Amino acid sequence: MTHIITTSLLGQVVSNRLTPPDPTTIENYGHLIIQALVAIVTIWATVRKALQKPEAVVKVPLEAVPGKKKGINGGMPNDGGAE
């Protein structure tokens, strides 16, 4: 008798555990998985960028820059707008 009751209780527990979750639970888990993937990719890109060698700065003469003119003293024009 106890064997039958124990088997039925275990069967009830197993069958309740094997039922599929409702759609909102599946959607919530989907959102969590996507957020975790975005966080991992963001952290990976940030670390990769931080470990990257800095690019060499190329100094270009002012005459080579389009739209810029030399000021009176041979340098950049003043902030007053006079060129």
Which pLDDT does position 73 carry in this prediction?
A: 52
pLDDT higher than 80, residue 47: yes
What number is the average pLDDT over the span 9-33? 80
Percent of the chain whose pLDDT exceeds 90: 28
SS3 sequence, the chain?
CHHHHHHHHHHHHHHHHCCCCCHHHHHHHHHHHHHHHHHHHHHHHHHHHHHCCCCCCCCCCHHHCCCCCCCCCCCCCCCCCCC
Q: What is the pTM of this model?
A: 0.45
